[in-house]
Amino acid sequence: MKLKCLFFNALLFAPSLVFAVNSSQGAAPAAAAADIGLYTFLAVVILAGGVLLGFKYRSGYKTAKGIAMLVSFAGWLLFAGGIVVVFFGLVEGIQSKHEGVSILAILPGLGAAIFGLLCVMGGQLTRAVVDTADHTREIMNILREKA
C-alpha cells in the first residue's frame, strides 16, 4: 500500500514542484511548457512502474467504458466509409463525360466522415470523464488512508 501512495504522491505534487521551480527562476512560458511535457513523461513512467509493481486499476464504470469504445469503433467505421464514398465520388466525377467532379457526389461522404469523427470524439471524451472519475476515487481512497 505504501508503494501505491508513493506513486500517487509523485503524480499529485510533481506539477506544483515544476511550477515553483519555474516561478522562482523566472522561466519563460516555453520553458514551462517543456517542463509540463517532462512532467507528462514522468507521470507515464511512474504509472507504468506502478503497473509493473502490481498496482491494480479497477474501473467502476465498465458499462460506460464499453459503450464509449463501441461508439468510437462505430465512429471509425463511419469515418472510413465516408472516405471511401468521397473517393468513389471523385473517381466517378473524374471519369464522367459531362461536368467533372460534383460536390453532390462528395457531400454525403464528407458528412459521414465528419459525423464519424464526432462519434470518435464523443467516445474518447466519455472515456476521459470516466477515467477522471476513477482516478479521483483512487486519490480520495489514498487520502482517506493517510488521514
Residues 80 and 116 in one domain: yes
b/e for 137-146, b at 16 or more Cβ within 10 A?
eeeeebeeee
Beta carbons within 8 Å of 116's beta carbon, 6+ residues apart = 74, 75, 76, 77, 78, 79, 80, 81, 82
In a domain, 57, yes or no: no
Query: Could you tell me if 38 and 70 lie in one domain?
Result: no
Residue 48: domain span:
2-52
Question: pLDDT over 90 for what percent of the chain?
Answer: 38
Is-above-0.75 flag for pTM? no
pLDDT (tens digit, 9 = 90+) per residue, 95-121?
777 777 778 888 999 999 999 999 999
Has residue 38 been placed in a domain? yes
Mean pLDDT of the chain: 76
* Whether residues 8 and 68 fall in one domain: no
Counted domains in the chain: 2
- Give the domain-ending residue among 29, 52, 75: 52
For residue 9, what pLDDT band results from cuts at 50, 70 and 90?
Answer: very low
For residues 40 and 67, membership in a common domain is answered with no
